[in-house]
Amino acid sequence: MSFDTAKYTKNPFIKGDDLQEGEKVVVTIKSAEEATFPSGDTVPVLEFLELDQKLTLNKTRIKKLVEMLGDDTDAWIGQRIALYQVDVTFQGKTMPGVAVGKAPARATKTRPTVENDVVFEQPAQRKAQPVAVFVEDDDIPFA
């Protein structure tokens, strides 16, 4: 008898290592909520239609999202953004992190909607691999 080891080892949150360097993953925001972790910390979290992993929001990501989408997080639902890998320094070490940016206008494949979530009943099989489109665009500034 066998089992899927990813079920027990996969992180439910997107990390920089989950994204490929130089690629931007276009995603649609499904929800924006606060999550309380076992440590007691409460952190804002985004959930996406295309991914089975969520994104925790730090101060930098929140500022960028507010700049792009406004400060009403209810209005973020259904909006498309790009996730991409950037180098960050944490405890004196450089490591891959996740940045948010505008979804390129030319990423116009059939757009999922929160109301039409049936397309994504099966989450992505690979970490942070979208059902949507990878777009290479050097116009997205680093946060």
Does the pLDDT value for residue 36 go beyond 90?
yes
- In the prediction, which pLDDT does 135 show? 52
What residue spans define the domains of the chain? 14-135
Q: What is the pLDDT of residues 9-32, one digit of tens each?
A: 778 999 999 999 888 999 999 999
Within 13 Å of residue 2, how many CA atoms lie on the same side as its CB? 3
| Residue where the block lists tokens 């276009």 | 26
Q: Which residues contact 53 (CB under 8 A, 6 or more apart)?
A: 10, 11, 12, 13, 14, 18, 127, 128
| Residue where the block lists tokens 């970490």 | 127
Share of the chain above pLDDT 90, in %: 55
> What is the model's pTM?
0.70
- In the prediction, which pLDDT does 123 show? 44
Q: What is the pLDDT of residues 88-129, one digit of tens each?
A: 888 999 999 999 999 987 654 556 555 555 444 444 444 554
- Comparing 3-7, 17-21, 132-136, the range with the smallest average pLDDT is 132-136
- Comparing 2-6, 60-64, 99-103, the range with the smallest average pLDDT is 2-6
CA–CA separation, 83 and 14 (whole Å): 10
